[in-house]
Amino acid sequence: MSRVIITYGTFDLFHIGHLNLLRNLRALGDKLIVGVSTDEFNLLKGKQTVIPFADRLDIVRSLKCVDMTLAETCWAQKADDIRRLGVSVFGMGDDWRGHFDTLRSLCEVRYLPRTPGISSSALKHCLAHTA
């Protein structure tokens, strides 16, 4: 039986931290599914993206460590996707530690270390102050 890993994110201003997380998640199993948050869902979360959803989805989809992508449109979708796709492991960066522990009844939940010194928020802050 294959070990299916799933994660979600905005993946705006794609950077090495995103790539490291996705590679590390893929190493945990046989298939990596990545949910990319839509622009509309990001607005509900209070986030304004720089890169449009279709482009962010295409960037993530093009990575060789990613086997499948899908659009993330709401918080409740995660549990539905885990059931529907036969997910073994739900993984996120450790900045989300504890936020998704309720999914432990459906699959293993793992929080992986972030890449030190890099984040989309920090990049946006730098860009805002250099313009």
Q: Active-site residue among 47, 64, 78, 124? A: 47
Confidence of residue 115 (pLDDT cuts 50, 70, 90): confident
CA distances to 68, 87, 117, 127 from 36, in Å: 11, 17, 23, 23
Q: Is 45 a catalytic residue?
A: yes
pLDDT tens digit sequence for 69-107: 999 999 999 999 999 999 999 999 999 999 999 999 999
Q: For 20-76, write each residue's pLDDT tens digit.
A: 999 999 999 999 999 999 999 999 999 899 999 999 999 999 999 999 999 999 999
64 is catalytic: no
Give the residue numbers spanning the domain of 113: 4-130
Which of 31, 45, 64, 78 is catalytic? The answer is 45
Question: What is the three-class DSSP state of 116?
Answer: coil
d(CA 19, CA 59): 11
Instruction: Report pTM.
Output: 0.90
CATH number of the domain to which 99 belongs: 3.40.50.620
- E strands, 10-130, are 31-37, 68-72, 89-93, 108-112
How many domains are there within the chain? 1
